Amino acid sequence: MNPIAYKRCVSRVLANPVLLSGVRLGKRVKLFQAMQYLKHPCDINTLASELHLKEPYLKELIHSYVSSEVMTLTPDKKIIVPDWTIFKEAFLDPELTYLRPFEKVAPILEKCFEENGPAGYTHDEAPYVLDYVRTLRQNYNIPLAMELSQLISVHADSYTDILDVGCGTGDLTIPLASTLGSSSVYGCDISVKAITAANMASYKVDNVSFGIEDIHNLPKSWGGKYNVILMFDVLHDLQYPEKAMKQLLNVLKKDGILIIVDPKVSSDPRKNIGNIQAAQALTLSTWWCVPSSSCDHGSGNGVGWGWENKEVFLRNMGLNVRSRVCLIKSDYNYAYVCRRK
Ligand SMILES: C[S@@+](CC[C@H](N)C(=O)[O-])C[C@H]1O[C@@H](n2cnc3c(N)ncnc32)[C@H](O)[C@@H]1O
């Protein structure tokens, strides 16, 4: 990449506080120092072992740099910084700080990066990143809920009982229930803090209720109960997606539908190059989705798992993807409407 084009990429990152927090994280875990020391194009596994860092964490962070083009991926999947002079001038400023809500979670995340550090953290242990993400989405919750309700009315034979798994603070569950007044909507999440907030926010809506549940272990009494199950921005956060999906299929009625919404980031890092939305999603994933999915030594999938791998996963779980759409004309997510094969 020529220096002018590279400067343009660097400026885009400097103007984006999420991406900039990702760069600061790379500095904190000594990634750039190691790359300069190793000099030649480096592979991610070698960097992880040299630095005694966990590979899934480092990979997600580096793939965010590749998407924003501050780093380049060689055809044999090694990484280089195109111009160290420009890079250092922009990013190695000691004054560079984390985005304010990220400051609180940075010491925990930096520990999680370490080979022998904690596996990850839950929303209750470190709610700051998800709280920030909620502020980014707050103006879109009602349009998203309207479109979800349309998908439900078009694809579901019946929608008397709807389950929103991993509902968080109910930001979508509550407007969805308001739109589908004749349905009974239940939101569940493993986070006590999120469910407490959801209960408080929903007092005016009669057909919605919330409870604390782990997707990997849903109540036996729910067998075949739900016509519609929604899983919004959760699949890639899960420790054991296969176990979770078996549980969901167990509580879904035979002719029910499953709506899974997940970020539209490619499984192939090369296909995300120049995609700032993907870069941002991968950075946020380093702060939240990788730690969440790594808890209890789980999958560590995060957003970088990618939509192609997720489609294979859904098919392997015995699901038929009936429809795949981008909600609210945004390129950020794919919404999959699935039925049993
Ligand atoms: C990115 S948030 C999405 C929240 C909500 N669906 C939304 O879009 O507003 C992911 C949620 O998944 C929840 N989660 C992660 N692992 C879970 C598990 N094993 N069981 C239930 N919920 C889980 C987290 O607590 C978090 O609230």
Q: Is 135 exposed, middle or buried (0-12, 13-18, 19+ CB in 10 A)?
A: exposed
Instruction: Check pocket membership of 238 for ligand 1, CB cut-off 6 A.
Output: yes
Nearest atom of ligand 1 to the alpha carbon of 232: 6
Question: What is the model's pLDDT at position 91?
Answer: 87
Q: What is the pLDDT of residue 144?
A: 97
- Residue 176 DSSP symbol: H
Using DSSP bridges, classify how beta strands 161-165 and 184-189 pair: parallel, antiparallel or unpaired.
parallel
Nearest residue (by CA) to ligand 1, atom 12, is: 166
- What pLDDT was estimated at residue 261? 97
Ligand 1 proximity of 190 Cβ (cutoff 6 Å): yes
- What is the per-residue pLDDT for 6? 95
Ligand 1 contact, 247 CB (< 6 A):
no
Domain borders along the chain are: 3-98, 133-340
Tell me the C-alpha to C-alpha distance, in Å, between residue 302 and each of 149, 235, 245, 263, 276: 27, 9, 16, 10, 17
Q: What is the pLDDT of residue 329?
A: 86
Question: Cα(103) to centroid of ligand 1, in Å?
Answer: 22
Contact at 8 Å (CB) between 288 and 130?
A: yes
Find the farthest-apart pair of alpha carbons in the chain and give their distance in angstroms, rounded.
Answer: 63
Instruction: Kindly report the protein residue whose alpha carbon is nearest to atom 25 of ligand 1.
Output: 191
| Nearest ligand 1 atom to alpha carbon 169 | 9
Q: Per-residue confidence of the chain (341 residues) as pLDDT tens digits?
A: 899 999 999 999 999 999 999 999 999 999 999 998 887 899 999 999 999 999 999 999 999 999 999 999 999 999 999 999 999 999 887 778 899 999 999 999 999 999 999 999 999 999 999 999 999 999 999 999 999 999 999 999 999 999 999 999 999 999 999 999 999 999 999 999 999 999 999 999 999 999 999 999 999 999 999 999 999 999 999 999 999 999 999 999 999 999 999 999 999 999 999 999 999 999 999 999 999 999 999 999 999 999 999 999 999 999 999 999 999 988 899 999 999 99
Q: What's the pTM? A: 0.96
- From the alpha carbon of 122, which atom of ligand 1 is closest? 25
**263 and 281 in contact (C-beta within 8 Å)?**
yes
From the CB of residue 222, how many other CB atoms can be counted at a distance below 10 Å? 17
Question: Rounded to the nearest 5 degrees, what angle is found at the Cα of 13, between the Cα atoms of 10 and 17?
Answer: 150
What pLDDT, on a 0 to 100 scale, did the predictor assign at position 302? 98
Query: How far is residue 25's CA from residue 286's CA, in Å, rounded to a whole number?
Result: 10
Could you list the beta-strand ranges (E) of the chain.
Answer: 72-73, 79-80, 161-165, 184-189, 208-212, 226-232, 252-263, 319-325, 333-340
Domains 3-98 and 133-340 share a fold: no
pLDDT at residue 95, as a whole number: 77
* Ligand 1 proximity of 253 Cβ (cutoff 6 Å): no
Do 60 and 22 contact (CB within 8 A), yes or no? no
CATH number assigned to the domain covering 133-340: 3.40.50.150
Residue 23: both structure tokens together: 């760069």
Q: Is 191 in the pocket of ligand 1 (CB under 6 A)?
A: yes
Q: Is the CB of 69 under 6 A from ligand 1?
A: no
Amino acid making up residue 177: A
* Per-residue pLDDT, 97: 84
Q: Determine contact, residues 242/317, Cβ cutoff 8 Å.
A: yes
Q: How far apart are CA 240 and CA 216, in angstroms?
A: 7
Position 37 scores a pLDDT of 87
172 lines ligand 1 (CB under 6 A): yes
Instruction: Establish whether residue 262 lines the binding site of ligand 1, counting it when its CB lies within 6 angstroms of any ligand atom.
Output: no
Instruction: Kindly indicate whether the domain formed by 3-98 is annotated with CATH number 2.102.10.
Output: no
